A and B are shown apart, each in its own frame.
Chain A
């Protein structure tokens, strides 16, 4: 149980285009989803916290107009990278927390999406 999927697993796009990444909790309802960015050989950097039905909370330094996050249902959150540039190339990972477990509940991670902007 507690499986999280991401789609696509890999995407290559041209500079200036927008890319949407989906994060789904397959067998549980997730009140909270998190989006991380991971640079090569680096740790995970939290970009934003997304709660179902409300606006995402972005971490300091993350442009909310650049990285649009939507959490329309308890099983789906999307991250849209708008007007992508080569410096947006990275590995994006989402995670989801089970509904109803209160604070400090475990996060379940998706397999990640490799974005390459040419």
Chain B
């Protein structure tokens, strides 16, 4: 079985500040991990994914995430927040046991303030 926990349903940062969105996973097999972003009334857009290659993954829009097996974490970061980053962010996991079925976390709403 797989699961994802996103700590903090709401995160607020100032424009230009560091963005840190937390994700911890549970998986009985080596996981594939994903971060998606969702803007209001839209579908999901892939930000980045970890598929057992490099542990530090760079994605679109300046985001990156580091896979830490010892901490079972895959936190999303961005050095400098922009107003356009305000959105809902979802962490997801898939693994060989579940085929390519994704299990999503509960999401984190990012608010960026001036």
A residues adjacent to B (C-beta < 8 A): 4, 6, 32, 34, 41-44, 46, 49, 91, 93, 95, 97, 103-112, 114
- Distance between Cα atoms of A91 and B94 in the complex (Å): 22
Residue of A nearest to B91 (CB): A43
B residues adjacent to A (C-beta < 8 A): 32, 34, 36, 41-46, 49, 51, 90, 94-96, 99-107, 109
Interface of A is mostly: strand
Given known A-B contacts A43-B106, A104-B96, A112 and B101 have beta carbons under 8 A apart: no
Cβ contacts under 8 Å, A44 to chain B? 44, 90, 104
Q: Top 6 nearest A-B pairs by Cβ distance?
A: A109-B43, A109-B44, A111-B43, A104-B32, A43-B104, A43-B106
Asked whether, in the complex, the Cβ of B43 is within 8 Å of the Cβ of A46, the reply is no
Given A97-B100, A106-B46; 17 other pairs, CB 8 A cutoff: A32-B100, A42-B107, A43-B107, A46-B101, A46-B102, A49-B99, A103-B96, A103-B100, A104-B51, A104-B95, A104-B100, A105-B100, A106-B34, A107-B100, A109-B36, A109-B44, A112-B41
What is the distance, in angstroms, from A96's C-beta to the closest C-beta of chain B? 11
Given known A-B contacts A43-B106, A104-B32, A104-B96, A34 and B101 have beta carbons under 8 A apart: yes
Cβ contacts under 8 Å, B103 to chain A? 46
Given known A-B contacts A32-B100, A104-B32, A112 and B49 have beta carbons under 8 A apart: no
Cβ contacts under 8 Å, A93 to chain B? 43-44
What is the distance, in angstroms, from B34's C-beta to the closest C-beta of chain A? 8
Residue of B nearest to A44 (CB): B104
Residue of B nearest to A38 (CB): B38
Asked whether, in the complex, the Cβ of B43 is within 8 Å of the Cβ of A110, the reply is yes
Cβ contacts under 8 Å, B42 to chain A? 111-112
- Distance between Cα atoms of A6 and B106 in the complex (Å): 23
